[in-house]
Amino acid sequence: MNLSSAKYRITYEAFSKLSGSLSKVESLEELGTVANRHLKYLFNFRMLRIVMLFKNETAVSFTFLKSKEPKIVDGDELLDYEKELFLVKIPLLRALNTTDLPGYALPLYENWNTPKLWGWHTTSGEREICFSLISDDTESFNHSDMEILNLLVDNITSRYFQIYLGQQLTTKNLRLKDAITQIELKNTEIEQINNNQQDIISQRTEELRYKNKKLLELSKLNAHNLREPLTRILGFLEIADLYSDADLRRIIFPKLKEAALELDLVCKQVVNQSEQTASNANLTENGYD
């Protein structure tokens, strides 16, 4: 096996390990850490930067520097050459300028030997991606490494969007769960209100039944008590013509007076009973309480 074949095999073995590790990460921080740990086995570079541009023009960037922790920035500002790549979509290869570096990478610039800037633009579905690499005479990158670089970018961006969509789904599920909880609370409140209203209706209905019953009893009682002395008075008046004046004064008038007094007493009793019944049933002039 020649040196080129051996390098090719080692590189793809390293990439297989990286791909397997990336499939298990659950957070963006872990994604950056895992990728950074395996990059040195894939190709040479001084800085690798991957930028994903969303439709709302916000960008998420992954920046990898040798012997440095990866930097992941949500809402990062594009560098000038990245803006050009997103605009013209033409790969670039030129000498590196200090303006091509984010601020946190500038201190490393003086240790690089004749650095070069490589840049590419690609799309994945509806996603726009710009990725760039800085190499120099010590850490040289060449076109034969492009295949593995493309695979790396595809793996990192795909896993990023899986994590991102998972987080979005979790957030939406939490909001949905909260909304369901609020709906259940409202439904419970409505049910309680309905139950209270039903209790009030049942109570009012029972009160009306009781009041109607008492009024009916009072009506029957009053009609009977009033009718008896009134009937006697009417009867005496019917036979009054059959008596002489002396007999009227002696026999009929005393009985009429007795019946009239009894009728007066019954009327007073009816009024008292009516007031008492109304009070017991909580009746008012306008209805009931």
Residue 288: the pLDDT is: 45
- Encode pLDDT of 164-184 as tens digits: 888 778 888 888 888 888 898
What CA–CA distance (Å, rounded) separates 130 from 282? 84
181 shares its domain with 260: yes
158 shares its domain with 190: no
Domain boundary among 157, 176, 195: 176
What CA–CA distance (Å, rounded) separates 25 from 156? 11
96 shares its domain with 194: no
Single-letter amino acid code for the residue at 194: N
Mean pLDDT score across all residues of the chain: 84
| Structural domain harbouring 275 | 177-288
270 shares its domain with 151: no
- Encode pLDDT of 272-289 as tens digits: 777 776 676 554 444 444
- Encode pLDDT of 220-277 as tens digits: 666 667 777 878 888 878 787 878 878 777 888 887 788 788 878 878 877 777 777 6
Number of domains in the chain: 2
Smallest CA-to-CA distance from 104 within 73, 127, 125 is with: 73
- Encode pLDDT of 198-211 as tens digits: 888 888 888 888 87
217 shares its domain with 280: yes
- The three-state DSSP-derived secondary structure of 215-264 is HHHHHHHHHHHHHHHHHHHHHHHHHHHHCCHHHHHHHHHHHHHHHHHHHH
88 shares its domain with 149: yes
183 shares its domain with 172: no
Residue 280: the pLDDT is: 66
- Encode pLDDT of 56-93 as tens digits: 678 899 999 987 899 999 888 899 999 999 999 999 99
